[in-house]
Homo-oligomer: A and B are copies of this chain.
């Protein structure tokens, strides 16, 4: 209870399956993937579905992977690395293509400060995701519209 997380080193095995899972996540670090995509990609490599879920959960817990919820309730995962700085900035997710954008933008820090001061609300930047439409998709949408 009073134990800080992150101190359970030494008790984990380095397995072929985990290596593969992290490898895939890193390869797709610029976007997020569903557990199922991962399972699919690793089907041939002999990695079971539950192993994927278990690994993801663990990675999320230790902060190496971020989990997002799509509008339909399904989960998406994205590698962020052990990189602590990732907790410092906000994330933008395109509702259309699902791509995720990191932004270190100071404006968002000001936002946090403002919300804290004027709304008495401590923003959790690691939990918050800003949704919208990215440039490419906005263009694509514009085309469809006038089609």
Evaluate contact between B132 and A127: CB separation under 8 angstroms. yes
Chain A residues within 8 Å of B, Cβ to Cβ: 69-71, 73-75, 92, 94-95, 101, 103, 105, 107-108, 110-111, 114-115, 118-124, 127-135, 138
Taking the nearest CB of chain B, how far is it from the CB of A74, in angstroms?
7
Closest to A74 in B: B73
Minimum distance in angstroms from A97 CB to a CB of chain B? 12
B73 touches A92 (CB 8 A): no
Other-chain residue from B110, B111, B120, B131 in contact with A124 (beta carbon distance below 8 A): B131
Nearest Cβ in chain B — how far from A63, in angstroms?
15
B103 touches A119 (CB 8 A): yes
Q: Are A130 and B128 in contact (CB under 8 A)?
A: yes
A127 vs B119: C-alpha distance when bound (angstroms): 20
- Whether A132 contacts B123 by the Cβ 8 Å rule is yes
Complex-state Cα separation, A94 to B108, whole angstroms: 18
